[in-house]
Structure 1
């Protein structure tokens, strides 16, 4: 029995391998496009994982080899016709992406094929991105007369710099896996991206879960403030880490020349 055995979703597939969860956007006929139902289901899964201590890492991927997520569902998008409806869709998508970004455990986007528009925004909300050599990434919203609405204009510049982000945003061009690696948009390129994602996740899981959560918090909170203010946050969180049982176990295991057994305490 795993966390997901009794759950049923129309647009997602959920698997659990020990403490590793794999969330697959499962709309291959629509190139895994994000419609409102899919966004809702992703939010529900993220909330569930956030509340469950049995999950130590999450991989997000798309069904098939053609697309991670090819973007938002254009048929739904085309029905928007006023400021209010557009703003509400943007806020709802941002909420889902932010909840994914705020998970205390490591998250990895496994990108095969297209990651466009909302698909790239979903990948940007993860901590690490691993791409197939065939992957293509972009934010083409300007070609539809709109702008990214699920965090793309904010996360992309913070990740790769304003100049490179504006190039992608204003031209709407797609970048391949190698260019994405060079600009820091993805962390790894692999012929077997899901296998690589599992390998990276297993390496993460070996570390103390409280440390991972505190590292994410330090980076997230420090991203938009001065270095001096960030150092204060780091010191506070370092103090919290030192007070944990996992710290005592980690240092003791190092001195004993054995692998630590962390309990998240």
Structure 2
């Protein structure tokens, strides 16, 4: 994983970096595998309260590696790549990662993680690269960052969970226009659409600042918040209201909730247990 993604955990904040900077962090078989492994590491580390996802070098992620498209042009044949996965699977309909296949999991995984994920995006986030950051809870982008639902350029549809993530972020007609055209748009336009949370000069530092704030909150409440917001996209109002009550019942009176109250009353930093 280290030649594709590096993770450093400090005071509850996981700094997750795509580090294939010589290829603008393009998605090859090894990168897909590394994303999967990163997800497992984060999910199994109770000390991680929030994660910041970023790309090293000139870009967040330029999308699918060009070698994959070359393989498609040859009729779908591909050689084995590092990580033991095919660059072009024989069938994408096979579910290999819960409700998803491996490419979809690269975008959807961030939504399934129990802790909030903040994406810091710069340079470009094209095609699959855009879909990876769409899985984050929050997205900060640098001015002038270029984004695109670019799959149509290669005669394809967005298939890394993009349709399921975009439909909750954008108007239906906007999703269709971006997907049908494949046009490149800027972070500033993405902000007006609702695709990014904010456009900031240094998205990484902005994300880390927020991450540290979140890491200082009751981790039980933060994780419950994420579960509720994830479910809210699919639940009826009746079930959503019930979920609020069930989650709150499970938190009220617990040691971390009591510590949050005492820290506030005593005007001191809280000391939560993971």
TM-score for the superposition, normalised by structure 1: 0.90
Correspondence 1:57 to 2:50: yes
Give the Cα separation in 2 of the matches to 1:35 and 1:56.
Answer: 29
| Aligned residue number for residue 190 of structure 2 | 180
| Deviation of 1:68 (Å) | 0.5
Superposed CA RMSD in Å reads 2.0
Correspondence 1:21 to 2:26: no
Give 2:132's match in structure 1, choosing from 116, 122, 125.
Answer: 122
C-alpha offsets along residues 71-111 of structure 1, whole Å, 9 cap, x if unaligned? 01131244244697251598111123333211111111110
* Counterparts in 2 of 1:102 and 1:153: CA distance versus 1, 3 Å: same
C-alpha offsets along residues 129-171 of structure 1, whole Å, 9 cap, x if unaligned? 0101021111110111111111111111211221211111111
| Aligned residue number for residue 216 of structure 1 | 226
* Counterparts in 2 of 1:213 and 1:44: CA distance versus 1, 3 Å: same
| Deviation of 1:257 (Å) | 3.7
Give the Cα separation in 2 of the matches to 1:19 and 1:78.
Answer: 41
Aligned residues: 256
Moved beyond 6 Å, runs of 4+: none
Contact 1:47 1:99 in 2 (8 A): no
Alignment of 1:135-150 (within 5 A): 135-150=145-160
Q: Secondary structure at the match of 1:109?
A: strand
Alignment of 1:73-152 (within 5 A): 73-80=65-72, 81=75, 85-87=90-92, 91-152=101-162
Give the Cα separation in 2 of the matches to 1:257 and 1:16.
Answer: 27
Q: Secondary structure at the match of 1:159?
A: coil
Give the Cα separation in 2 of the matches to 1:9 and 1:205.
Answer: 25
Contact 1:34 1:72 in 2 (8 A): yes
Q: Secondary structure at the match of 1:258?
A: coil
Give the Cα separation in 1 of the matches to 2:265 and 2:210.
Answer: 26
Give the Cα separation in 2 of the matches to 1:30 and 1:258.
Answer: 46
Correspondence 1:38 to 2:31: yes
| Aligned residue number for residue 64 of structure 2 | 72
| Aligned residue number for residue 234 of structure 1 | 244
